[in-house]
């Protein structure tokens, strides 16, 4: 509950003090800011209590380069259980809560699944009253805003902080100094409250902003050297400006490494400072009170940094420091793509953070010595070393310097053990675990699909499913209930209508809500095979052109994806899909049986509209390449069957919901392993005219790439390969015909609306496994060894004291 009177007063006071405005005169952005700050005022005491309570015991710290948080306002109100109360307060003062929610910018703190998983994890940690703090960077411009010009992706700065961010509290007095070889910068912390569901506990995401030690050189300015006067300021602020700056040259690589060391060093300093504040006996107990999770390889420099501090600053003997460090850290591997396993040039490390580089050399020498004692051959040792061929292998450093390495789906973990990290698994089998990813049901159902959430609560006669997603299994008894299924489909149609209206408003494209909404939304990467989907759509278009009377359910194919600014081939795929959309959407002869929409600037708030409205979830990565995926889980939770390969978490989705309620196709990992050395995509290209026809549209003038050579390069990649990979590296042509056939099965199944509803319902009721509450409980118990710590409210504190 909230104090409605106090909230009203807070809104009025904040508008007056911050903007010299009133409820009547304020713009919607000012109102959003004031209402949000008013909410912060009501939770601040519990936030402080949570922080203090956590410091009295072992804590976990989640280090991640990105946290894709999305909008905070609506999610926070739902978790606090005050959405309706706040709406009634705003109604009284004539403020539309929907306009307030829409006024919030998506936080520009992440990009893809890695960052969204981190955000869901924090939500679950708070909900479960677990003492966990997130650490990252407060990016001024995030990744980028995407728009399309003539079908090409164009990037522009995402100035999401231009109007301030009311959910962040600056803690300037807790700033720390970070030292590089030739530069010192200030790391200033900003704390964001992480509000759990139905709990008093408030956790923290601490984000660091880079600021100069000296922002302005007056003497240089006075000498009319204006650029030089602010050079130190600009150089420092570059560190926290943009997520994943282009690293195509040494300047970009240097900035990326500076980012990683900056936030890691600041976080380690912060953790150590708080450890000392609690007056623990010595650093011998450090790992008994602190667990640090490394989310992928970006923060792995934390391992040598902690060693540096223990050895240099705390004067600890090396071997003791190593044991403490190893027992402090755990590492999550998110990829089996060798190109995504970070490696850094030794000279870059040596030039930027020389003492840390010396520590890494000593760690590497220690590893080689241990392997030699264990009887490993020189060749085997060379293959496992942290430093090899002038490069620092961050994944090797992470595994050697931590007590646990986990994969993020059962198949992914098996691949790590049996293939990609086989040598490490054989060396340290006890260190490897699986932690299948999940999603938070608060944002991905309770918030984004309120209509379905209300139906579930009504059927279960309880809203506890929001905290215990396994309760959805109880809905299985309605799988044959026609009235329930019809109501469910009615809600799905309602969400489709809402999405159609949003797309009309933001993309100026009208879509048919009676069509199948076939949706593929994820980061643009070749292994995710948006190109395969594009070819299949084009093939369907040609079949409709040849047979205009062919009976197929109307379909709207919806894409959402950003390509990394320097990823030429991925940007070519975006352009190609937009060219297909232009062709199909302007051809009246097919009677709008199919339409293609590539939404611009895919982000969390857009995703919240897309997942509930989907009829079909497209998860078609090459088998063995997707570590897990979490988009597939969000679709499943909202009652959407998967069309996908036997890859990542798709494997476990099918195990839970049944193969008969999903549409699995394509070569499995073991088949790809068997054929990859002799695979020749031209065998499929020359044998099947439909494949040749769609592939050749890349070069035969059907589509125009504006003279960039993008389409020719894509064609070559498929049929000839490149210096760094074989032809059709992701087996698109191998899986093409199977994909077209499985889509025909979707058409057939969709025509029986009641049976289709059952498939959707079966996915919903069996999605309970994929909650981050389950995942985080496993991390807490099996990796971090931390305990649930609900804070006491005042009445409980008085009772405990009286009992004492």
* Rounded-to-integer distance, Cα 622 and Cα 601, Å: 25
φ/ψ region of 169 (left if φ > 0, alpha if ψ in -120 to 50, else beta) reads beta
HEC string for 489-513: HHHHHHHHHHHHHHHHHHHCCCCCC
φ/ψ region of 658 (left if φ > 0, alpha if ψ in -120 to 50, else beta) reads left
- For residue 330, how far is the Cα from the chain centroid? 19
* Rounded-to-integer distance, Cα 489 and Cα 367, Å: 58
* Rounded-to-integer distance, Cα 394 and Cα 766, Å: 37
Residue 12, SS3 per DSSP: helix
Return phi, psi of residue 676, to 5°: -60, -35
CA angle at 759 for the pair 753 and 761, rounded to the nearest 5°: 100
- Catalytic positions, written as ranges: 334, 522-523, 528, 630, 634
Return phi, psi of residue 546, to 5°: -75, -30
Query: Closest Cα to residue 670, out of 335, 410, 419?
Result: 419
Structure tokens at 723: 């210096």
Residue pointed to by tokens 């959430």: 453
Element (H, E) at 294: strand 290-295
CA 533 to each of CA 276, 540, 541, 612: distance values in angstroms, whole numbers, following the listed order: 55, 11, 12, 21
Write out the DSSP string of 661-680. GSEE-S--HHHHHHHGGG--
Residue pointed to by tokens 């009284």: 92
Write out the DSSP string of 77-108. HHHHT-HHHHHHHHHHTT--HHHHHHHSPPB-
Say how many C-beta atoms besides its own lie within 10 A of residue 505's C-beta: 8
Do the Cβ atoms of 218 and 117 come closer than 8 Å?
no
Q: Write b or e for each residue in 110-149: b if 16 or more Cβ atoms lie within 10 A of its Cβ, otherwise e.
A: bbbbbbbbbbbbbbbbbbbbbbbbbbbbbbbbbbbbbebe
CA angle at 386 for the pair 381 and 392, rounded to the nearest 5°: 140
* Rounded-to-integer distance, Cα 491 and Cα 486, Å: 9
Do the Cβ atoms of 740 and 542 come closer than 8 Å?
no
Residue 330, SS3 per DSSP: strand
Helices (H), 193-240: 218-222, 226-229, 231-237
* Rounded-to-integer distance, Cα 446 and Cα 334, Å: 27
- List the end-to-end C-alpha distance of the chain, in Å, as a whole number: 30
Structure tokens at 85: 């109360």
φ/ψ region of 279 (left if φ > 0, alpha if ψ in -120 to 50, else beta) reads left
Pairing of strands 169-170, 663-664: unpaired
Do the Cβ atoms of 330 and 783 come closer than 8 Å?
yes
């Amino acid at each position: 509950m909230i104090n409605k009177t106090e909230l009203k007063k807070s809104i009025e006071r904040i508008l007056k003090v911050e903007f010299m405005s009133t409820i009547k005169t304020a713009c919607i952005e000012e109102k959003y800011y004031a209402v949000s700050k008013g909410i912060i005022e009501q939770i601040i005491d519990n936030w402080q209590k949570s922080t203090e309570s956590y410091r009295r015991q072992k804590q976990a710290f989640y280090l991640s380069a990105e946290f894709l948080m999305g909008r905070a306002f609506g999610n926070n109100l739902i978790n606090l259980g005050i959405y309706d109360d706040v709406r009634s307060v705003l109604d009284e003062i004539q403020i539309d809560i929907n306009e307030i929610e829409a006024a919030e910018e998506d936080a520009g703190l992440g990009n893809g699944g890695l960052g969204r998983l981190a955000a869901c994890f924090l939500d679950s940690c708070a909900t479960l009253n677990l003492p966990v703090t997130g650490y990252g960077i407060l990016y001024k411009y995030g990744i980028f805003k995407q728009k399309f010009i003539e079908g090409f992706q164009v990037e522009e700065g995402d100035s999401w902080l231009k109007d301030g961010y009311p959910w962040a509290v600056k803690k300037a007095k807790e700033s720390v100094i970070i030292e590089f070889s030739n530069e010192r910068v200030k790391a200033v912390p900003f704390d964001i409250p992480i509000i759990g569901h139905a709990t008093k506990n408030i956790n923290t995401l601490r984000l660091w902003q880079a600021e100069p030690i000296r922002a302005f050189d007056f003497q240089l300015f006075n000498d009319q050297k204006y650029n030089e006067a602010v050079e130190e300021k600009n150089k420092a602020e570059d560190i926290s400006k943009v997520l994943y700056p282009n690293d195509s040259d040494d300047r970009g690589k240097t900035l990326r490494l500076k980012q990683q060391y900056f936030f890691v060093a600041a976080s380690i300093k912060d953790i150590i400072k708080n450890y000392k504040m609690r007056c623990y006996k010595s650093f011998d107990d450090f790992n008994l009170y602190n667990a640090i999770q490394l989310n992928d390889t970006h923060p792995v420099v934390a391992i040598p940094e902690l060693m540096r501090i223990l050895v240099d600053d705390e004067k600890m003997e090396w071997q003791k420091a190593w044991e403490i460090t190893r027992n402090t850290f755990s590492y999550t591997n998110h990829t089996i793509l060798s190109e995504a396993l970070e490696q850094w040039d030794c000279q870059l490390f040596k030039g930027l953070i020389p003492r840390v580089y010396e520590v890494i050399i000593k760690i590497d020498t220690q590893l080689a010595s241990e392997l030699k004692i264990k009887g490993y051959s020189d060749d085997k040792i060379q293959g496992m070393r942290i430093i090899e061929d002038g490069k620092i292998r961050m994944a090797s450093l992470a595994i050697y310097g931590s007590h646990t390495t986990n994969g993020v789906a059962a198949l992914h973990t098996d691949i790590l053990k049996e293939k990609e990290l086989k040598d490490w698994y054989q060396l340290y089998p006890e260190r490897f675990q699986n932690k299948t990813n999940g999603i938070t049901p608060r944002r991905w159902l309770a918030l984004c699909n309120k209509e379905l959430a209300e139906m579930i609560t009504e059927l279960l006669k309880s809203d506890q499913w929001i905290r215990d997603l396994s309760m959805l299994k109880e809905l299985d008894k309605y799988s044959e209930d026609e009235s329930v299924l019809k109501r469910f489909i009615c809600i799905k149609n309602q969400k489709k209508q809402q999405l159609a209206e949003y797309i009309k408003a933001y993309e100026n494209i009208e879509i048919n809500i009676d069509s199948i909404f076939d949706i593929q939304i994820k980061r643009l990467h070749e292994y995710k095979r948006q190109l395969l989907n594009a070819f299949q759509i084009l093939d369907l278009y040609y079949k409709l052109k040849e047979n205009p009377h062919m009976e197929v359910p109307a379909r709207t194919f919806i894409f959402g994806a950003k390509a990394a600014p320097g990823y030429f081939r991925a940007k070519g795929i975006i352009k190609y899909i937009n060219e297909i959309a232009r062709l199909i959407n302007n051809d009246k002869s097919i009677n709008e049986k199919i339409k293609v929409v590539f939404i611009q600037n895919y982000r969390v708030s857009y995703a919240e509209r897309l997942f509930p409205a989907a009829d079909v979830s497209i998860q078609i990565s090459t088998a063995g390449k997707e570590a897990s995926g979490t988009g597939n889980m969000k679709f499943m939770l909202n009652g959407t069957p998967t069309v996908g390969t036997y890859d990542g978490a798709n494997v476990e989705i099918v195990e839970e919901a049944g193969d008969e309620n999903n549409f699995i196709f394509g070569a499995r990992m073991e088949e790809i392993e068997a054929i990859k050395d002799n695979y020749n995509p031209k065998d499929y290209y020359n044998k099947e005219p439909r494949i040749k026809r769609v592939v050749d549209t890349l070069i035969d003038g059907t589509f125009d790439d504006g003279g960039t050579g993008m389409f020719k390069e894509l064609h070559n990649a498929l049929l000839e390969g490149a210096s760094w990979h074989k032809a059709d590296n992701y087996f698109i042509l191998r899986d093409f015909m199977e994909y077209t056939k499985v889509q025909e099965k979707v058409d057939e199944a969709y025509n029986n609306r009641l049976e289709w509803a059952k498939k959707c319902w079966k996915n919903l009721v069996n999605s309970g496994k994929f909650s981050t509450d389950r995942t985080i409980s496993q991390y807490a118990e099996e990796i971090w060894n931390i305990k649930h710590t609900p804070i006491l409210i005042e009445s409980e504190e008085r009772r405990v004291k009286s009992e004492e």
